[in-house]
Amino acid sequence: MRRIYESDALERDDDAFTPRRREETPKPAAMRSVPGESLSRYLVPAWLAHRAIRVAVETPQSSYPTGTTVPVTVTLRNAFPFPVSVRTRTPRLWTWHVDGAPEASRVPESLPEEERVFTFDRGERKEFRRRWTGLFKVSETEWEPAEPGEYTLGAYVDVDDAAGKGLAAETTVRIEPE
Amino acid sequence: MTLLEVNDLTVSFYTEEGVVTAVDDLSYRIESGETFGVVGESGAGKSVTALSLMRLIEEPGRIESGEILFRGEDILKMSESEVRSVRGNEIAMIFQDAQTALNPVYSVGEQISEAIRHHLGYDDDAARDRTVQLLDRVGIPDAESRYGDYPHEFSGGMQQRAVIAMALSCDPALLIADEPTTALDVTTEAKILDQIQDLADEFDTAVQLITHDLGVVAKICERVMVMYAGRPVEKASVEDLYYDPKHPYTVGLMSSIPRIGDERDRLQTIPGTMPDLVDVPPGCAFHPRCPYAEECCARKRPPLVDPETGDASTAADDRAAACLEYTGDLENGLDFEVTVEGEDPLVEEEQDAR
């Protein structure tokens, strides 16, 4: 079957918009992709993978009145042009915290001790949205409002010494009295 | 006799988005031969509960805690081979989407007889005979010749019936029906529900029926559990649930059912949507949508209690609701009223029976 690319129909005018001709000798399909994730897991050392990941935490405003919900955006980005994998110490790959309380909970956590691999495609940007309701969980069934003042909102990839490895970020937010 | 008892079951999924607690501290029980309904919106944790009973939760999910006692034995402590002997044999499941549940490269009859051969030790001919009987029993016309048909040669309703036949093939003591009629039209739905009910009566099978259709619950269930965001919010007998609902979520569900002859201009709905389970609201998970919510609802998670006495509920209790009204924390209380219009359906049923 004759394809439109092979006709002269597209050769008339504006060269800039003319589709490119098909390559005469296309690559075999199997060569087009390599198992980048698995390869990077074996070839990219952990220290390099840690340097690839950039963590950012943002809130739309720097202060909120008491009783309002604070939207939190956590962005994890692979700055490298190849896939990287980070080995985390628990199945929870990352988390956010308020003044060191994970997910604004002061109840001690019990997470399974099982390593997981957090993978990022080349240049991949993962964005997560959370809301801090201005409350701290103080027991399995109770929450308490945060006093007015300054609070640190942070996020980290769940590895040992995340801050030292550059896998954590923080921002501050002020809770104003009503 | 209690056939199944689930105590404090918690199931979490460790996803990239965050930790999703799909089932949180769930307790209930099912008696032999009874039909137990599990109701809730999509994402309430109904299907995850069912899969946990069969220990079919896969990565990244894990059963964090709790116990599932089937005839007194904890399924979560069984070895893989012990679970295999229970799964499909003593506890069988009718999956939500029959087309996906059936293997497209095996004939329907073969898939059913495989379970019979494996669990009951029948030889090929005996298993085939039993399969043909079962297909006939669930209303597949000309079952003998349809035995060798592949799933794509069956219609949606027939596929669902084939899955029901497969679930009933080993006379299970407990049948978990996970939205068995969601993909079907109403006439086929009515037939299949009748069949499940007849077959359950005939084989004295207990049924855990998962649905978001309250009409289906009213039709075939005896006791009901309403779930919201992975937690049970109300447990009651079907009469109590319809005539005397205790939780505002149940009331919202009831008022959102369209009725023939209803004079209202617009159908009453529950505002908002089910919360994202990675970011469940603090306190009562329903409070952002609840018209009666007060400040305390955001600060205290209501325990499941007996609505009359306020005492903590256990798996054995038939009537329970999780609202701060029943622990005395709500100042203004719940301001709803249930009116029953028309004839009492129970009286009607008795008249029909006569």
Question: Which alpha helices (H) appear in B267-344, and where do they start and end?
Answer: none
Domain count for chain B: 1
d(CA B256, CA A62): 41
Q: Which domain range does residue B139 map to?
A: 100-170
Interface of B with A in 153-182 (CB under 8 A): none
Q: Which of A71-80, B73-82, B207-216, B280-289 has the lowest mean pLDDT?
A: B207-216
> pLDDT value at position B342?
64
Q: A41 in contact with B at a CB cutoff of 8 Å? A: no
Of A4-18, B58-72, B96-110, minimum mean pLDDT range:
A4-18
Q: Are B345 and B353 in contact (CB under 8 A)?
A: no
pLDDT, greater one: B334 or B184: B334
Closest-CA residue to B47 (of B57, B36, B35, B33) = B57
Quick check: B60 pLDDT over 90? no
Contact B279 A135 (CB under 8 A): no
Does the pLDDT value for residue B353 go beyond 50?
A: no
Q: Is the pLDDT of residue B261 over 90?
A: no
Task: Locate A92 and state its tokens.
Answer: 């929870």
Q: What is the mean pLDDT of residues B135-154?
A: 91
Query: Hey, is the C-beta of A51 within 8 angstroms of any chain B C-beta?
Result: no
Residue B167 has pLDDT above 50, yes or no: yes
Q: Tell me if B119 is assigned to some domain.
A: yes
Alpha-carbon radius of gyration of chain A: 24
- Is residue B60 reached through a cis peptide bond, with omega within 30 degrees of 0 on the bond before it? yes
Evaluate if residue A2 carries a pLDDT over 70.
no
Cβ <8 Å between A92 and B299: no
% of chain B at pLDDT higher than 70: 96
> In DSSP terms, which residues pair with B300 in a beta bridge?
A142
Q: Does the residue B256 lie in any domain?
A: no
Please, which residues have CB within 8 angstroms of residue B40's CB and are 6 or more apart in sequence?
Answer: B46, B212, B226, B227, B228
Q: How far is CA A77 from CA A122, A130, B14, B142, B184, in A?
A: 9, 17, 20, 60, 44
Structural domain count of chain A = 1
Q: How far apart are CA B45 and CA A124, in angstroms?
A: 31
B19 touching chain A per CB within 8 A: yes
8 Å CB contact of B301 and A141: yes
pLDDT the model gives residue A1: 56
The residues that bridge with B225 in the sheet, in sequence order, are B38, B235
pLDDT digit string (tens) for A50-88?
999 999 999 999 999 998 999 999 999 999 988 899 999
More confident residue, A20 or B330: B330
Q: How far apart are CA B75 and CA B296, in angstroms?
A: 38
Say if B16 is an interface residue toward chain A (CB within 8 Å). yes
In this structure, is residue A40 part of a structural domain? no
- For residue B66, is it within any domain? no
Give the CATH number of the domain where residue A156 resides.
2.60.40.10
Q: Is residue B154 part of a domain?
A: yes
Q: What is the pLDDT of residues B296-316, one digit of tens each?
A: 999 999 999 998 888 888 877
Distance CA A108, CA A138 (A): 9
Position A93 in a domain: yes
Q: Does B299 touch chain A (CB under 8 A)?
A: yes
For B88, the 3-state DSSP assignment is coil
Instruction: Report, as an integer, the average pLDDT of B171-193.
Output: 84
pLDDT of residue A38: 78
Could you tell me if residue B350 is inside a domain?
no
Residue B349 above 50 pLDDT? no
Q: Is residue A76 one of the residues assigned to a domain?
A: yes
Q: Do B299 and A128 touch (CB under 8 A)?
A: no
Tell me which chain B residues have a C-beta less than 8 angstroms from the C-beta of A132: none
At A7 the three-state DSSP class reads: coil
Confidence category of residue B284, pLDDT binned at 50, 70, 90: very high
- Determine the structural domain holding residue A89 and report its residue range: 55-178
Residue found under tokens 């939500």: B96
Q: Do B16 and A135 touch (CB under 8 A)?
A: no
Q: How far is B164 from chain A (nearest CA, A)?
A: 37
**What residues are paired with A88 via a beta bridge?**
A116
The answer to whether position A33 is within a domain reads no
pLDDT-derived band of residue B354, with 50, 70 and 90 as boundaries? very low
- Domain assignment present for residue B313? The answer is no
pLDDT tens for each residue of A118-167: 999 888 999 999 999 999 999 989 999 999 999 999 999 999 999 999 99
Q: What element of type H or E holds B128?
A: helix B124-137
Give residue A13's pLDDT. 53
DSSP annotation of B19: E
Q: What is the residue-averaged pLDDT of chain B?
A: 88
Give the residue-averaged pLDDT of A20-41.
Answer: 64
pTM: 0.85
A89: in domain: yes
List, for residues A100-116, the tens digit of each pLDDT value.
999 999 999 888 888 99
**Cβ contact, residue pair B300, A92, below 8 Å:** no
Three-class SS state of B253: helix
Q: Is residue B177 part of a domain?
A: no
pLDDT classification of B209: cutoffs 50, 70, 90: very high
- Top residue of A86, A107, A141 to mutate, by most chain B CBs within 10 Å, is A141
**pLDDT attached to residue B227:** 94
**pLDDT, mean of residues B26-50:** 91
* Residue A34 within a domain: no
- For residues B238 and B224, what is the distance between their CA atoms, to the nearest angstrom? 6
**Coarse DSSP helix, strand, coil percentages of chain A, rounded to the nearest 5 percent:** 15, 40, 45
User: Is the residue at B42 inside a domain?
Assistant: no
pLDDT at B102: 93
Determine, yes or no, domain membership for A150: yes
Judged on CB neighbours under 10 Å (0-12, 13-18, 19+), B126 is: middle
Distance CA B38, CA B178 (A): 9
Of all residues in chain A, the percent with pLDDT exceeding 90 is 61
Section B221-243 average pLDDT: 93
**Given phi > 0 = left and psi -120 to 50 = alpha, else beta, which region is B230?**
left
Q: Give the ipTM of the model, two decimals please.
A: 0.81
pLDDT average, residue stretch B332-340: 78
Is the pLDDT score of B81 beyond 80? yes
Per-residue pLDDT at A139: 93
**What per-residue confidence (pLDDT) applies to B313?**
85
* B-chain residues near A116 (CB < 8 A): 14
In-domain check, residue A104: yes
Q: How far is B160 from chain A (nearest CA, A)?
A: 37
HEC string of A28-42? CHHHHCCCHHHHHHH
